[in-house]
Amino acid sequence: MNKRNLALVALALSSFLVACNNPDKSSNSVTDTTSSVVKLDTGAYQRTINGKQTNLYQLNNKKGAVVQITNYGGRIMSIVVPDKNGKPTDVALGYDSVQSNQKKGEPFFGALIGRYGNRIAKGKFNVAGKPYQVQVNDGVNTLHGGTDGFYSKVWDAKKINDQTLEMTYLSKDGEAGYPGNVNVKVVYTLTEDNALKIDYSATTDKETVLNLTNHAYFNLSGEGNSTITDHELTIAASGFTPVDTTLIPTGKIQDVKGTPFDFTKAKVIGKDIDAADEQLKNGKGYDHNFVLDKISSDKPVAIVKSPISGITMEVYTTEPGIQFYSGNFLTGTDKDGKGGKSYGHRSAFCLETQHFPDSPNQPSFPSTTLKPGSTYQTSTTYKFLNK
């Protein structure tokens, strides 16, 4: 084959890959730029659930970063960014189909969490002097909104442009036991500097509690890598909220100094994770809320780095707390991760920005009350570098 024909073949192949990269064409698989990254089939994410259509959406920037999100639970299923050698690497755990996200006991991979992120003791609280009992789904407590949380809802999705996806949902009064009709909007934006920004807003017609977050699971060495205990972590928090055996905060804020929870300077996650410590025993590792020292839009509250890929993730937020979860309850029993991968014990971590767990029952914690006439607004950014 002569050089001219080779050039034509290369051009045709390039055009084909660009066409396949269109997330809104239901007949095409979403394609990335390397065979080492699992290609999610858009068709596997198209299903009718409770009368609403699910789909898979893709955000792209000019640097080649790719984020894939399904409107089932607003779940982030893939984040592809370059490693230190420029190789595209998927750093987010996820599934090959929407059905896998529906299975019983799934760990909320990449999900939008609400109405209340984290735990509420015994699912009970008072709002405006009235007692409420919400769904209990974590032993005796409520976790991530209950059995009918936002993670299981089909959101209305609108692609604003190649880099922005808007999702909206009306949570009706009494849903999962929570008061008020709550209108929620979440906007995902993939920026040109390889950052995924998540902006949350909400209003209510009745006084309620609200605490929204995202439950993305990360492995900066690449999803499917066996561990995150070799990652280096920094958290700008001099205190954390200790928990009881059911992972409900005691109400105290404990100094991290001299404990395994001191990440004020960069430390390998695995260094102290198995230390003889009551709090680590309660969480079976790290599963705790850190009280952030200072909130600033231009200063990260957490930094994580993989020694293998060289990928660094910086977290920025307007929230007062961040839940560091070290993947203690992942088992790897079901080999149903992307491409049939097994996501084993501590093969991923979460950094969930939030108000504190059980705040409705802890008057000393920042309030999660939302009243009519007020607008809930919060923002979190995950920025990826390969320096």
Active site (catalytic) residues: 215, 352
Q: Is the dihedral of CA 176, 178, 182, 186 positive or negative?
A: negative
The residue assigned the tokens 């189909």 is: 97
Residue 96's φ and ψ, nearest 5 degrees, are -85, -15
- Residue in 353, 348, 344, 343 with CA at minimum distance from that of residue 382: 353
